[in-house]
Structure 1
Amino acid sequence: MSLFLHPLITLNIWSDDHGIDVFYLLSLFFAFGIWLVFQRYQRASNSAVPFKFSVPEPAEVGWKSFVIDDPTLTSHETNEDLLPSFTIQGRKYITSFDPATGLHIQTYLADGKEEIAQKIEKADEAQLSWRETSFTQRRRVVRSLLKWMVDNQNICAKVACRDTGKTMVDAALGEILTTCSKMEWLIAHGEKTLRPERRCRNTMLAYKTSEVHYEPLGAVAGIVSWNYPLHNAWSPILAALFSGNSIVLKCSENVIWSTSWYIYIIRSCLEACGHDPEIVQLVCCWPEDADALTTSSLIKHITFIGSEEVGRKVAVAATKHLTPVTLELGGKDPAIIMPGTDLNKWVSTWMRGVYQNVGQNCIGIERLIVHRSQYDDLFDIFSQRVTKLRLGSVMAPNDQGYLSPVDCGAMISSARFDALEHLITETEEFGNGVHVEGGKRHKHIYNDKGTYFLPTVIGPVSSDMTIAQKELFAPIALIMPYGTVDEAINIANSTRYGLGASVFGPDQRQCLKVARELECGMVSINDFGVFYVPSFPCSQDLPFGGTKYSGYGRFAGPEGLRSLTNPKAIMVDRWPVFVQTSIPKVLDYPIRSLTTSWEFTAGLVRFLYADGWRSRIRGLITVINASRK
């Protein structure tokens, strides 16, 4: 009678010596029991921790406030009519409002240089204890946040919608899904990425072991844009915390209300897990005070997400203390449509790529590069579709009191509307035959204080047009015809940007060949933007970033996580009792003979690296002879 433990292993229970077999069996059961206890402990120590939180009133559908009587809604600067009853003399304030409705949300006290310095010091002090936490403890924090987000995704999305004017679907795809993907990756692969790793040895140091240890930097900073207030805030925070750092996050004044709440959630989770919430600090200030963060000697790394103009200023300021910077700047992402592509098959993907978040997406498609033979069909398809898109606020209830059914929300403000309309008019006048569908601001019948811009299609557009070179960051599709595939590649590479790109076509091998010719950091084949949210189980496993004027450095994936650490190389002896480095007498100071010492080192080089075993043997003989002199 045998007990099968593995297809290749059996344990005989009955034999001539029953006592020995029973002992082995009991030992096996005992070991299995210990393993079960360990697994239960691991699950308990990694289980999500619930925590209390409050829901802000403006996140409710149909919430009422007063409309800011400002027809432009271009600035969040101090509004004297909206200051709190008690103000601090000489300080500036930030006015927060819903760009889809114009409703006033709240007025905040902006951080000054002194307040920023104090928050940096708090983060730096708190990091000393956080850096000593185990990966198990860090995973538990991330797992708690993941469970909370899945359970509360509805309120998370509504907060983002209220502060940015986006739709619930845009919030689900750009805020919730991507952030959950980030946390899933950290839980599954974060420790593997950051734990010490062995490196290969060379022949000369075969008796040593080399390792790389990824150590926390200290207090790091994240300066992020407004287009995805949840994900742009949580993504650098999660990476910083998992790599053992504290973080000072500077949000845009456009989204201070939502970002404050998202940070409150993270700090509540940290506290519930038994950690100091001071490791996460939120800063919101006006540009003239931002140098207090970018030039601080306590900040050891800066992740910047935003415009090229501001990114340059951050990079220059960081040189004061040689602070490393990761820059994710603008994009002008192309989608090359290969000849013979089924347009109807992919048009929904292109529509989402262009009009997701009303074009306020760094990896959104701005240029559709299509073969001349299919240009008219593509322009007609887009024109018909965009005229059916519904604009509005999802937070303004319909007749039944539920979320309004809208396709596109508001833009963050109307600050760029004049420039966009001027650029579109200039394009129409550039040459004969340019057609525009949409192309202007929209006055909503119910939300007349909202900042809406009509979904737009423009074509045919050529590379020498200004509109083809500038990042629009708006719901505008440029359709650009080409004759040959090489011409399509040249059009795609003709801008100063190089962030993301897409290639669509019936022949995947041909698409891949084109993708290799594109000057950018990321490419999707027959898809849009999936290089940021790849499929399970390797979600978020790819580095995110661009080339040329789209910035440098990477976040996300192993490269992004390790960029927040100091990679320290350590070498130790494999058998210290038996073999350790010693200096041969022929090389010991003072050197007795330059000729002999040279013969020794030259022979050593030949022995280690010569091409062919005969040369290596001659080198070894030279080493031996020189060491005897």
Structure 2
Amino acid sequence: MHSLFYVLFHPLRTLNLWLEDDPNASIVDVLYLFTTFSAFGIWLVFDRYQKAVNSAVPFRYAAPEAADPNWHSRVIPNANIRSHLQEPDLLPLQFGGEREYITCFDPANNLHLNSIMADEALSIEAKIKRAKNAQVKWCETSFSERRRVMRSLLRWLVENQEVCARVACRDTGKTLVDAALGEILTTCSKLEWLINHGERALRTETRYSNLMMSYKKSQVIYEPKGVVSAIVSWNYPLHNAWSPIIASIFAGNAIVLKASEHVIWSTEWFVGAIHKCLEVLGYDADIVQTVCCWPDQAEALTRSPLIKHITFIGSEEVGRKVAIAATEHLTPVTLELGGKDPAIILPDTDLQKWASIWMRGIFQNSGQNCIGIERLIVHSAQHDELYDILTDRVAKLRFGSVLAPTREGYINTVDCGSMISNDRFNALEQLVFQAQEDGAKVDIGGKELLHTSCEGKSFFQATVVGDTQPNSRIAQVELFAPIALLIRYDDIDEAITIANGTRYGLGASVFGPHQDLCIEVARELRCGMVSINDFGVFYVSLSQDLPFGGTKASGYGRFGGPEGLRALTNPKAIVTDRWPSFAQTSIPKVLDYPIRSLVRSWDFVHGLTMLLYADGYRARFNGLLQLSKASRR
């Protein structure tokens, strides 16, 4: 405490003595005063420089007209992303020839958004090369410069969150609340994590040395891979695009993002904001490339020798094809292939207390959520009560479009939006019907919802299926739909068996009145992530420091957290001499080539091993004696 007082107040005392021409102010005091205030001045200059270098740079990026709720366009009666084949007049006049196109439309209202030329192999290769050329200079940027990009993007996203949410809603049919939670908050959290902790995850690390190599210093550096790629799904177009982009460029890479054909309209706008940010800050925006193509052209990306890592988010079927294609050049792959996430509800759980969490976990984004709750595994004594609770709440859910054409300034209040398309509706209806045939109880939902005020044909009724058989088809396949499945169990071991009884292993939840028991159950689940008395918090806003990924058919590898960031780099080990002028490696004569005596060399190595690793001081001392004798012979 005395030392702190001296450091803080002695300069002030010295200044006072000096100003009063007091003889007690010695030359030492004056020099101390000068040094202190000089250091303070240097600190102020450095602090202002750091703030200038790291501060966010504002930029503007125009919103698309279709983000306006009162925007109107042509309604496509039977909208499909390949509908240009039946609707040639939807194509711009400058399009022609044999190229294929992607029709972009609002699935909740069937409003035509745009028709975009699909990439072919040659255009994909050209984009990869542009990214590679731009990365050469980008990888030389400092973490401070990359943080400034992240801060600028974060500021823009916060200031333009409503526009971003509306763009996501227009292209997917989701609600503004779902966009705010799944798109905006989560992406802001990712940016904040990179700003605060990204450098720590990638800075050079010093590793431990053992006694034999104590004169060496071991380090690991994380070098950019070069050009990486991400092939992402459509359910969160903003977050699924920005998340791999910001992680990749923070690690010093360039990235080629393949967007889903379903959301290319919004994805191009979201990525365009990143391009604008990079340009304003003086960097080459070519480090971020967007590809949109039909599946038969995707191998131009997955088989490219210039791509050094692939992140894939999507179905198991397509993920397997990506992994196979990547083997041509031994390209590392991170696969996130969805799941069948269970929520185990332990006996005596307060059902009313957690009902809102389960409703959000099941019906957020109309069930199109890779870590959504797909199975509620509930004790037999509470099954019927939970079924009644959910049925009552589901009956009150309002479906619709927040961007349906309305009077000026009015946004529709809806709980659930549309699904991305109606392609799977027949399969979903058949699964629900088959579950009923097997004894399941369905009092609400189970069919396509014919909306009375929205032109879109992509609404599916919120559904509750009770008494679901754990081995039935509906309980084994990923639904990705607004369907709640309730499965009975009689003891906790049975609940764990049911939870582990699918081919998937992405996320899970455990609910119960006693947290210690919940943790015990969580440890028995074969999956990548578990929430206790919560849903999905291993990824949402507060937990970007955690690795995200699964096991079994849910894929392998991790993105998110230090593990995900480091997966986008090449770790390189470097070993140097700790005191190069004092101690360096030399080969003992007894081991030098040509070896003079195999017996002596063996005794030397044997004694060295005993000295370093034998159990007990006596054995180690004997090893030292043997080592000494072998050296003297």
Match status 1:485 vs 2:489: no
C-alpha distance after superposition, 1:262-291 (max 9, x if no partner)? 111001100111100000000000000000
Q: Secondary structure at the match of 1:570?
A: strand
Out of 462, 472, 479, the residue aligned to residue 469 of structure 2 is: 462
Q: Map of 1:336-415 to 2, 5 A cutoff?
A: 336-399=344-407, 401-415=409-423
Quickly say closer, same or farther: Cα 1:238–1:116, change in 2 above 3 A. Answer: same
Deviations 1:203-260 (A, max 9, x none): 1000011000000000000000000000000000001000000000000000000000
Asked if 1:420 is matched to 2:415, the reply is no
Q: 1:519 to 1:227 in 2, by over 3 A?
A: same
Residues 1:45 and 2:41 aligned together: no
Q: Return the offset for 1:437.
A: 1.4
Q: Match of 1:540?
A: 544
Conservation of the 8 A alpha-carbon contact between 1:604 and 1:619: yes
CA-CA distance at 1:399 after TM superposition = 4.6
Give the conservation status (yes or no) of the 8 Å contact 2:131–2:256.
yes
Q: How does 1:167-182 map to 2 (within 5 A)?
A: 167-182=175-190
Identify the residue that residue 586 of structure 1 maps to in structure 2: 590
Matches of 1:244 and 1:315, distance apart in 2: 24
Whether the 8 Å contact between 1:504 and 1:527 is mirrored in structure 2 is: yes
- Given that 2:186 and 2:541 are in contact with CA atoms closer than 8 Å, whether structure 1 keeps it comes out as no
AA aligned to 2:32 is: Y
Provide the C-alpha distance between the structure 2 equivalents of 1:415 and 1:453, rounded to a whole number of angstroms.
11
- Secondary structure of the 1:606 match is helix
The residue number in structure 2 matching 1:601 is 605
- Rate the CA distance shift 1:199–1:4 in 2: closer, same or farther, 3 A: closer
CA distance in 2, matches of 1:201, 1:533: 38
Q: What are the Cα deviations for residues 501-525 of structure 1, in whole angstroms up to 9, with x where unaligned? A: 0001110001010000001000000
2:68 is aligned, of 55, 60, 69, to: 60
Note if 1:495 corresponds to 2:499.
Answer: no
The alignment yields a C-alpha RMSD, in angstroms, of 1.6
- Match of residue 20 from structure 2: none
* Aligned: 1:218 with 2:226: yes
2: CA distance between counterparts of 1:491 and 1:75? 40
Q: Which string of whole-angstrom CA distances, capped at 9 and with x for unpartnered residues, describes residues 395-414 of structure 1?
A: 11445641100100000000
Q: Could you give the per-residue CA deviations for residues 532-557 of structure 1, whole angstroms, max 9, x where no partner exists? A: 1363xxx4000000000000000000
Q: Report 1:306-317 matches (<5 A).
A: 306-317=314-325
Counterparts of 2:141 and 2:91, CA distance in 1: 42
Aligned residue pairs total 623
What is the one-letter code of the residue matched to 1:543? P
Trace 1:164-563 onto structure 2 (pairs within 5 A). Answer: 164-399=172-407, 401-431=409-439, 434-533=441-540, 535=542, 539-563=543-567
Per-residue CA deviation, residues 19-50 of structure 1 (Å, 9 max, x unaligned), is 21232132112111111110110001001112
Comparing 36-45 with 396-405, which one deviates more in the overlay? 396-405
Counterpart residue number, 1:135 = 143
TM-aligned CA deviation for residue 9 of structure 1: 8.2
Distance 1:239 1:507, change over 3 A: same
2:126 maps to amino acid = Q
* Amino acid corresponding to residue 463 of structure 1 in structure 2: P
Residues 612 and 10 from structure 1, CA distance in 2 versus in 1: closer, same or farther, beyond 3 angstroms?
farther
Q: Would the aligned equivalents of 1:391 and 1:408 in 2 still touch at CA under 8 Å?
A: yes
- Name the SS of the counterpart of 2:179 in structure 1: helix
> Distance between the aligned counterparts of 2:95 and 2:187, measured in 1?
36
Residues of 1 paired with 2:181 and 2:214: CA distance?
51
Instruction: Report matched runs for 1:563-578 at 5 Å.
Output: 563-578=567-582
**4+ runs of 1 displaced by more than 6 Å?**
7-10
* Alpha-carbon distance, 1:77 to partner: 6.0
3-state secondary structure, aligned to 1:107:
strand
Q: Could you tell me how far apart the structure 2 residues matched to 1:521 and 1:449 are?
A: 36
**Residue aligning to 2:616:** 612
**Secondary structure, in 3 states, of the residue corresponding to 1:442?**
coil
Paired with 2:46 and 2:4, the residues of 1 have a C-alpha distance of: 20
Task: Give per-residue Cα distances to partners, 1:80-120, cap 9 Å, x unaligned.
Answer: 23111122311100000000000000000000000000000
C-alpha contact 2:174 2:418 (8 A) present in aligned 1: yes
- Structure 1: give runs of 5+ residues left out of the alignment: none
Cα-to-partner distance string for 1:576-605 (whole Å, 9 max, x where unaligned):
001000001111110011111001000010
Q: Deviations over 1:175-200 (max 9, x none)?
A: 00000000000000000000000111
Q: Which one-letter code corresponds to 1:389 in the other structure?
A: L
Which of 121, 124, 127 is 1:116 aligned to? 124
Q: In the alignment, is the contact (CA less than 8 A) between 1:438 and 1:456 conserved in 2?
A: yes
- Give, in angstroms, the shift of residue 297 of structure 1: 0.2
Aligned equivalents of 1:435, 1:356: Cα separation in 2? 20
Is the contact between residue 528 and residue 551 of structure 2 (CA under 8 Å) also seen in structure 1?
Answer: yes
| Alignment-mate amino acid for residue 219 of structure 1 | V
Residue 427 of structure 1 aligns to a residue in which SS? helix
CA contact (8 A) 1:175 1:231 kept: yes
Distance 1:241 1:587 in 2: 49
CA contact (8 A) 1:76 1:96 kept: no
Aligned to 1:523, the other structure's residue is in SS state strand
Sort the Cα spacing of 1:10 and 1:200 in 2 relative to 1 into closer, same or farther, 3 A. Answer: farther
Distance 1:491 1:77, change over 3 A: farther
Do 1:199 and 1:212's aligned partners in 2 also have CA atoms closer than 8 Å?
yes
Give the secondary structure class of the aligned counterpart of 1:332.
Answer: coil
2:109 corresponds, among 71, 80, 101, to: 101
Tell me the TM-score normalised to structure 2 length.
Answer: 0.96
Shift of 1:615: 1.2
Percent sequence identity over aligned pairs: 62
Quote the offset at 1:74 in angstroms.
7.0
The 2-side partners of 1:526 and 1:219 are apart by: 40
- Conserved in 1, the CA contact under 8 Å of 2:366 and 2:418? yes
- Contact 1:66–1:104 (Cα < 8 Å) also in 2: yes
**Are 2:84 and 2:91, in contact at CA under 8 Å, matched by a contact in 1?**
no
Using the TM superposition, give the Cα deviation of residue 384 of structure 1 relative to its aligned residue in structure 2, in angstroms.
Answer: 0.6
Alpha-carbon spacing, 1:10–1:53, altered in 2? closer, same or farther (3 Å): closer
1:69 to 55, 71, 77: 77
Q: For the Cα contact (< 8 Å) 2:82–2:102, is it kept in 1?
A: no
